[in-house]
Structure 1
Amino acid sequence: MTVSLSQKCIAEFFGTFVLVFMGCGSAVLAGAHVGFLGIAFAFGLSVLAMVYAIGHISGCHINPAITISMLAHGKISGKDAGAYIVSQIAGAIVGSAVLYFIAQGKADYAIAVNGLGQNGVEGGSPDHYSLISGLVAEIVLTAIFLIVVHGSTSKNNSNGAFAGLAIGLALTLIHIVGIPVTGVSVNPARSIGPALFVGGAALSHLWVFIVGPIVGGLLGGFIWKLYDNK
């Protein structure tokens, strides 16, 4: 089956939309009911579902850090990578916009108080971790995530049919550990969408959630290549 770049971009847009709307939505709309553990599973299940829904179309990156890491290892062209990243950011923005619209239907909702599932450090961190702690956490967590992504989708892996399960569960695990620190990004698009609506510290600290995941993604790809270089 021949898939055009436009079809891949639509898939990446939709997949990122679902990730942001469902993942951040679990925090904004259902956080009081499901807690951190429920939010962690919402992000993991969103990726798991999208891997099987759009993976055969675009590879289901839905994350600029993954796309950049794939580009660094020659798994995607520069042209496609650029188009993927634009589509992912657009999907995240639209997902955040729809979530914001729904959240406003609750009388006591205020974006300045309740937020939009944005990531943060210092005062914006759920447990008030420092900027340095947040940056290091994002680098390390993204590196771990990309090792799983590269490893589970490698042509040397005979269990490739279960890649979606491994990737989804890995993201869940990362959120279980990392939500108290930054709310967990490991995905620049996921952070850009909510930050544009929330503004303030979410926007001024946005660089942490762009630089951290990109560095972590490249690091994770490098570590994977050290042992899976056939």
Structure 2
Amino acid sequence: MQKKLLAETIGTFWLIFGGCGSAVLAAGFPELGIGFVGVSLAFGLTVLTMAYAVGGISGGHFNPAVSVGLAVAGRFPATSLLPYILAQLAGAVAAAAILYVIASGKAGADLGGFAANGYGAHSPGGYSMISALLIEIVLTAGFLIVILGSTHGRVPAGFAPIAIGLALTLIHLISIPVTNTSVNPARSTSQALFAGGWALGQLWLFWVAPVIGAVVGGLVWKVMGERD
């Protein structure tokens, strides 16, 4: 179990450092900025690379909602949920802390929302709480279906990380304007801890919606696809 938890910590660290790091450090430059398309790709690439690197050890969840969805679908023991979630949070917070120190090292640095997730006045596109709730539920459910389907025994082995990474890229392309994209409570928590204020006040939604979406995705797959 210790090796699995270490793999989850490292994988989640890479996800937050690479994905949120691209948003905080690389997205905002007028000439060189990668924009939201680049940030979307960065999140997808972090999952793809770490799924290949450590997915064989821990399953490559890197996300409390994914762990919950896999448990609902019968692919993951519920007794391991809490240790996995704590490991994911540890990796996410460590990545956010290092990223905060790096981003603060520039003279006159303005970290803004520090890539935190939000709705209403803190949605990149000004979308409401209901919009944020719905999109996070729907996209997390879809993400779980992709994960469960691509890792099923009926599918050729070795390609799942590609499908999962591309799915996360697509999710970000859709929802960055709405919530700055969560679908991952660990990702939201780590950034909110350093952004503070409004980000902590709105963090509840980025636990509730992804977990609901994960449960829905897990149940849909269990009914639709989890059979020999």
TM-score bucket (shorter structure): over 0.9
Q: 1:42 — aligned with what?
A: 42
Give the drift of 1:116: 1.6
Match runs of 1:72-91 below 5 Å: 72-91=72-91
Q: CA RMSD in A?
A: 1.0
When you count helix as a share of all residues, which structure comes out higher?
1
1:28 and 2:24 equivalent?
A: yes
Give the Cα–Cα distance (whole angstroms) in 2 for the partners of residues 24 and 229 of structure 1. Answer: 34
Normalization by structure 2: what TM-score?
0.95
1:65 and 2:62 equivalent?
A: no
SS in 1 for 2:45: helix
- Structure 2: unaligned runs, 5 residues or longer: none
Match runs of 1:26-175 below 5 Å: 26-32=22-28, 33-111=33-111, 114-157=112-155, 159-175=156-172
Match of 2:78, as an amino acid? G
Give the Cα–Cα distance (whole angstroms) in 1 for the partners of residues 198 and 57 of structure 2. Answer: 36
The one-character-per-residue Cα deviations of 1:7-53 (angstroms, maximum 9, x if unpaired) are 00000001000100110010100012000000000000000001000
Match of 1:180, as an amino acid? P
Asked whether the 8 Å contact 1:96–1:116 carries over to 2, the reply is: no
- Structure 1: unaligned runs, 5 residues or longer: none
SS in 2 for 1:29: helix
1:218 and 2:219 equivalent?
A: no
Give the drift of 1:222: 1.5
The one-character-per-residue Cα deviations of 1:191-227 (angstroms, maximum 9, x if unpaired) are 0001011111111110110000000011111122222
Q: 2:191 — aligned with what?
A: 194
Match of 1:199, as an amino acid? G
Moved more, 147-156 or 37-46: 147-156
Give the drift of 1:229: 2.9
SS in 1 for 2:34: helix
Give the Cα–Cα distance (whole angstroms) in 1 for the partners of residues 63 and 83 of structure 2. Answer: 12
Give the Cα–Cα distance (whole angstroms) in 1 for the partners of residues 226 and 83 of structure 2. Answer: 28
Asked whether the 8 Å contact 2:72–2:219 carries over to 1, the reply is: no
Normalization by structure 1: what TM-score?
0.94
SS in 2 for 1:66: helix
Q: 1:209 — aligned with what?
A: 206
Instruction: Please identify runs of 4+ aligned residues in structure 1 that moved more than 4 A.
Output: none
1:14 is aligned, of 10, 21, 28, to 10
Give the Cα–Cα distance (whole angstroms) in 1 for the partners of residues 213 and 157 of structure 2. Answer: 23
Give the drift of 1:160: 2.9
Match of 2:36, as an amino acid? F
Moved more, 101-110 or 45-54: 101-110
Give the drift of 1:107: 1.1
Give the drift of 1:115: 2.5
Give the Cα–Cα distance (whole angstroms) in 2 for the partners of residues 27 and 108 of structure 1. Answer: 18
Give the Cα–Cα distance (whole angstroms) in 2 for the partners of residues 160 and 133 of structure 1. Answer: 36
Count residues with an aligned counterpart.
223
Identical positions, percent: 51
